[in-house]
Structure 1
Amino acid sequence: MNVIAIIPARSGSKSVPNKNIRLLGNIPLLGWTVKAASKSNLINKLIFSSDSDEYFKIAKSFNNNLIFHKRSSELSEDVASELVLLDILEQFKEYFDDNSIIVMLQPTTPFINTSDIDACITKLLKNNTFNTCITVKQVSEFPEWMIVQDTDNNKICKMTSKESIRQNIQQRWIPNGGAYVVRKSFLEQNKSLIDKNALLIHEMSKIRSLDIDEEEDFEICKAIVNSNILKS
C-alpha cells in the first residue's frame, strides 16, 4: 500500500510568532513531528508543505529525504488544510495512485509518537469500509454540565442539561489535531479529511494530545518536556 505523510507548516502564526520553529526541549516544534513520522515503517514518502525555505531547511535537518511542497501565495494564508493537500495531489501526481493513503500530521501536536501514527494507518488499512481515521482525546468537560447565559436576561446563567451523573452521559471524543489519515479517493471526491458519517479513531492521552494554539499552550508543553513526564 502506498502511504504518504504530509506535514503542513506555514510561517505565519499570529498567536505564537514563528510557532513552528520555536524551540521545545531544544528541538524546533516542527522537528518533533518530522522525527515521529520518519520512524514509521508504514510511511513510504514524507512531504513537507510550507511557504518558507527556512522552515524546510530546518525540517530537512531531521530527515534528508523530505520532499518540499512550496506553497503559493494563496495557500500561504490561513486556509483550510484540505486545499493544501489537494494542491499537493495535483503537483506530485507521480507519487500517488488511486489507492493511496494520505497521513496529515500537524506540528502543533508535538507529543504524538510513531506508534500513534502507525496505529491510525493500520486501522484504516484493516477496515476497507472506512475512509478516515483520526487521533482523538476523551472529553471530560461534557456539554451537559456547561453553563450558558440566558438570552433574555444576561444576568442569569443556567446549566444546559439536568443530567449530572457521569455514567449516564455518552462518552465523547474530540479530534486532537495530531493525525488525520484519509483515503486519497475520499479526499478528492469530498474535499474533506473526515468522513462524518463513519470514522475510525485512535485515542491519545490528554498530555500527548496537547495542541499549541496560544502562548500559554507552548509554556505548558515546555513544562512537560522539562519534567520528563513523557518518559515515565
Structure 2
Amino acid sequence: MGNLAIIPARSGSKGLKDKNIKLLNGKPLLAYTIEAARESGLFDEIMVSTDSQEYADIAKQWGANVPFLRSNELSNDTASSWDAVKEVIERYKNLGTEFDTVALLQPTSPLRTSNDIIEGYKVLKEKAANLVVGVCEMDHSPLWSNTLPENLSMENFIRPDVVEMPRQSIPIYYRINGALYIVKVDYLMRTPDIYGDRSFASVMKKENSIDIDDQMDFTIAEVLISERIRK
C-alpha cells in the first residue's frame, strides 16, 4: 500500500505530433513529469501508461516503470484518462500490488514542480480529502466574456453590474489546470463522480500551469523553462 503516480502518455497526438516525447529544451516532454514525481519523494511507484513500446522505452530511460502497455480499447481518442488510471490500478492489483492513493500527472504540464505535488499531498492530508485537483488563477475574468450573435453586436455583452464594478473588486476566478490530480484509490473505484464528497483545490502558480496542446504552448514552455534554468 502506498502512493502511485500515473503519467498517461498515449501516442498518436493529432494536435502536435508525438508531443509526449517531443524534445523540450533537449529532453522528452514526459521526462519533466517523471523527474518532478521522483524529486517529490512521495511515490512508491511511478508508472507511464502508454500504448507505444517506443514511449515505454523512453519512459524507462528517465526512471519510470512500464510493467505493461495500455490496452487497445483505451488507446483511442475517446478513452478518458480516468479509464486508463482505473485500468492501471486493476492490472497492478492482479499482479498483487495495491495502493492507497493515485496521482494523475499529465506529461503536458512540464512546468509543474515537485513542490506542487508535495503541496497537493499536504492538502489531501490536512483536508482529509478524497480528491485534490490542481488549479490556477485565470488570466482573464469570465465576467468579461460572452457569446456573440451573427451580427457581432456588443449590446448587453457585459452585464451592467460588472461594467460598473471597479476592477479590483472583480472576484478571482480559477480554472482546473490539468497538472495535478490526487485521489484516494478506494474513492476513485467506487464513485461515478470524483468531484463530489471531500474534493479540494490545490492552488498552483500560473507559470507552473502551462498545458501543452499545440506549438504555441510548446514555444511558451520552452521560453519559461529556459528562464527557469538560467535563474
Q: How does 1:122-201 map to 2 (within 5 A)?
A: 122-128=122-128, 130-150=129-149, 154-158=151-155, 159-162=157-160, 163=162, 164-192=165-193, 194-196=194-196, 198-201=198-201
Q: How far apart in 2 are the matches of 1:114 and 1:135? A: 13
Q: 1:188 to 1:160 in 2, by over 3 A?
A: farther
Deviations 1:9-65 (A, max 9, x none): 0111001000001000100000000111111222111111000111111111111x6
2:207 counterpart SS class: coil
Cα displacement (A) at 1:230: 5.7
**CA distance, structure 2, for counterparts of residue 214 and residue 141 of structure 1:** 20
Which is strand-richer, 1 or 2? Answer: 1
Task: Quote the Cα distance in structure 1 between the aligned partners of 2:50 and 2:60.
Answer: 12
Deviates more, 1:169-178 or 1:44-53: 169-178
Equivalent residue number for residue 41 of structure 1: 41
Distance in 2, matches of 1:188 and 1:111, equals 29
Q: Which runs of 5+ in 2 are unaligned?
A: none
SS in 2 for 1:39: helix
Q: Deviations over 1:70-104 (max 9, x none)?
A: 1111111121111101111211112215xx11101
TM-score by length of 2: 0.89
Q: 1 CA distance for matches of 2:112 and 2:177?
A: 10
Q: Deviations over 1:164-214 (max 9, x none)?
A: 43343332211111110011122111245x424652222222221111011
**Residue 97 (structure 2) aligns with:** 95
Question: How many residues in Structure 1 have an aligned counterpart in Structure 2?
Answer: 224
Hey, what's the Cα distance between the residues in 2 that align with 1:230 and 1:201? 28
Give every structure 1 segment of 4 or more consecutive aligned residues whose post-TM-superposition deviation is greater than 4 Å. Answer: none
Supply the AA of the counterpart residue of 1:35.
Answer: E
| Equivalent residue runs for 1:18-97 within 5 Å | 18-63=18-63, 66-78=65-77, 79-93=79-93, 94-97=96-99
Question: By how many angstroms is 1:66 displaced?
Answer: 1.5
What's the counterpart of residue 202 of structure 1? 202
Cα distance change of structure 1 residues 62 and 180 upon mapping to structure 2, 3 Å threshold? same
Match of 1:218, as an amino acid?
A: F
Question: TM-score, normalised to structure 1's length?
Answer: 0.89
